């Protein structure tokens, strides 16, 4: 299990919420002060920090500044009301930070935390077509999941390893695949899928942030079911998926 630091008052913690998170995280509760957070991180770097806002606005600001300045490689999810998140809107422009706006269902919070920590998250809803989204950018995964989850069952993966683990557990009806990824890129994943008799017929739609003609020609030469330039537009994405599956 990956480590998650929950920053908040112990007496105010939501027991049901923490029980849900312990399904996939090892949780350590830390008092909501910048000094306590710094000391805990120095002992061992966590995979994620979940910061409960509203304890002390000045201290919340110090914690956010600390994380943004000294620990930029640690993803952070803040949990608070829309009003409580307003002072920190500039932080959410960075992929390091995401906000969970209360009131929020525990399952939704788990979804956000897993995505930010780079963990595979599956949303298996009976009767719905199943889509796997593969991208090394957690923000992209969250956005696309949000566009699709009302209509489809969605799984996400941040790497080739996670993608094939997900496919092995539940064969998707369609794969949205980032073309440019570290270690094993989209082209390699696509070729591995096509080389496997069991998975060869799964339609694949590439995602790319590069509009360069050479890149587009290269990915189209692989004959995918389609491609999208990022950031993806929800209406067009849904329309395209409908024509494929």
pLDDT in tens, 27-42: 888 999 999 999 999 9
pTM of the model: 0.53
Q: Which domains does the chain have, with CATH numbers?
A: 2-116 (3.40.50.2300), 121-244 (3.40.50.2300)
Q: Is the pLDDT of residue 212 over 90?
A: no
Which 3-state string (H, E, C) describes the chain? CEEEEEECCHHHCCHHHHHHHCCCEEEEEECCCHHHHHHHHHHCCCCEEEEECCCCHHHHHHHHHHHHHHCCCCCEEEEECHHHHHHHCCHHHCCCEEEEECCCCHHHHHHHHHHHCCCCEEECCCCCCEEEEECCCHHHHHHHHHHHCCCCEEEEECCHHHHHHHHHHCCCCEEEEECCCCCCCHHHHHHHHHCCCCCCCCCEEEEECCCCHHHHHHHHCCCCCEEEECCCCHHHHHHHHHHHC
Most confident listed range (3-12, 130-139, 230-239): 230-239
The mean pLDDT value of the chain amounts to: 88
Q: What is the mean pLDDT of residues 189-207?
A: 94
Q: What is the pLDDT of residues 59-93, one digit of tens each?
A: 999 999 999 999 999 999 999 999 999 999 999 98
For position 120, what pLDDT does the model report? 61
């Amino acid at each position: 299990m990956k480590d998650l630091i929950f920053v908040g008052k112990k007496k105010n913690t939501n027991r049901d919420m923490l029980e849900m998170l312990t399904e996939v995280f090892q949780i350590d509760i830390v008092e909501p002060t910048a000094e306590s957070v710094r000391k805990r991180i120095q002992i061992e770097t966590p995979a994620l920090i979940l910061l409960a806002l509203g304890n002390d606005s000045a201290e919340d600001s110090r914690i956010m500044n600390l994380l943004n300045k000294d620990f930029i490689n640690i993803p952070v999810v803040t949990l608070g009301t829309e009003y409580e998140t307003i002072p920190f809107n500039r932080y959410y422009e960075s992929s390091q930070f995401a906000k969970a706006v209360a009131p929020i269902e525990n399952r939704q919070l788990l979804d956000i935390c897993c995505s930010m920590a780079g963990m595979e998250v599956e949303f298996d809803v009976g009767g719905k077509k199943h889509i796997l989204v593969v991208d090394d950018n957690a923000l992209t995964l969250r956005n696309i999941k949000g566009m699709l989850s009302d209509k489809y069952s969605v799984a996400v993966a941040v790497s080739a390893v996670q993608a094939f683990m997900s496919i092995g557990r539940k064969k998707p009806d369609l794969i949205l695949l980032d073309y440019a990824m570290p270690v094993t890129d989209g082209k390699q994943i696509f070729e591995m899928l096509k080389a496997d008799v069991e998975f060869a017929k799964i339609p694949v739609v590439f995602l790319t942030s590069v509009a360069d003609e050479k890149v587009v020609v290269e990915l189209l030469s692989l004959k995918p079911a389609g491609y999208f330039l990022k950031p993806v537009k929800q209406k067009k994405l849904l329309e395209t998926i409908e024509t494929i599956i």
